[in-house]
Amino acid sequence: MRKLMVVVCVALIAVWGCSPEAPKTEDQKAFYALGVHLSKQLSVFDLTPEELKYVQLGMSDAAGGKKLAAEPEANMQKLGELAQARMQKATEKQKALAKPFLEKAAKEAGVKKTASGLIYKEIKAGTGAQPKATDLVKVHYVGTLIDGKEFDSSVKRGQPAELPLSQVFPCWTEGVSMMKVGGKSKLICPSEIAYGDRGRPPVIPGGATLVFEVELLDVKDAKSAARPSMPPLQPKAK
């Protein structure tokens, strides 16, 4: 929580004393990017304008050397409770938003919905080897949230990812195992077989349904293959 408070303070300094001018120099752009990053970190609180005013007041009093109306150390537990409660609320919201999306996707022509909840659609049929859950696969993929916001892409990085199917989340293990080399498919992953209620904040909210377009480039036996180069955003999280 101490680290979280530091993040909150730094981010709100930017809000409290912000400039209306757009960044021009490289240094200004770097600090602007830092502000964007910290804003994402703060999103867990989903602060109302009224709550933001109190945080800004605390910043102002601390910066001005005034007597504090509330001591930080005494309120760490409460801040943690607020964070947990709001993350849970956000998770429930994500699941509610995903329900009609999943129902509609499952009714589309050409899709398969498996017992796990995976919604699978073949975009291009492959003709090569079909991987086992114990294999290492080489893939290109793009991952988005249900609103279309992209959160990860090996295509943008310009480098395929090599993934042991035994070490990714269940949706990928099952979905990629249904493909053949040379093929491309869409995997729609309910949160239960993706990152679950925890998500991967601030990139992926708890309870989020994920959509992937995956192109299977190669299959290797995991035991004989060299150690894979995992992408920055690994599909498995506990």
Which residues are within 8 A (CB) of 165 and not within 5 positions of it... i.e. 6 or more apart? Answer: 131, 132, 133, 134, 135, 136, 137, 172, 173, 176, 177, 222
In this prediction, residue 226 has a pLDDT band, given cuts at 50, 70 and 90, of low
Give the per-residue pLDDT at 106: 97
Give the per-residue pLDDT at 103: 97
53: left (phi over 0), alpha (psi -120 to 50) or beta: alpha
Query: Are 94 and 194 within 8 A, CB to CB?
Result: no
- For residue 55, pLDDT over 90 is answered with no
Whether the link from the prior residue into 202 is cis, omega within 30° of 0, is yes
- For residue 162, pLDDT over 90 is answered with yes
In this prediction, residue 224 has a pLDDT band, given cuts at 50, 70 and 90, of low
Query: Are 102 and 121 within 8 A, CB to CB?
Result: no
- Residue 160's identity, in one-letter code, is P
Query: Are 162 and 136 within 8 A, CB to CB?
Result: yes
Report the distance separating Cα 176 and Cα 30, nearest Å. 38
What domains does the chain contain, in order, with CATH numbers? 2-70 (no CATH), 100-221 (3.10.50.40)
Supply the pTM of this predicted model: 0.73
Give the per-residue pLDDT at 59: 73
Per-chain mean pLDDT for the chain: 85
Query: Are 112 and 121 within 8 A, CB to CB?
Result: yes
- For residue 171, pLDDT over 60 is answered with yes
The label of the residue with tokens 């709001």 reads: 86
Give the per-residue pLDDT at 209: 97
* Rounded mean pLDDT, 29-39: 80
Q: 3-class secondary structure for 49-103? A: HHHHHHHHHHHHHHHCCCCCCCCCHHHHHHHHHHHHHHHHHHHHHHHHHHHHHHH
Containing H/E element for 122?
strand 119-124
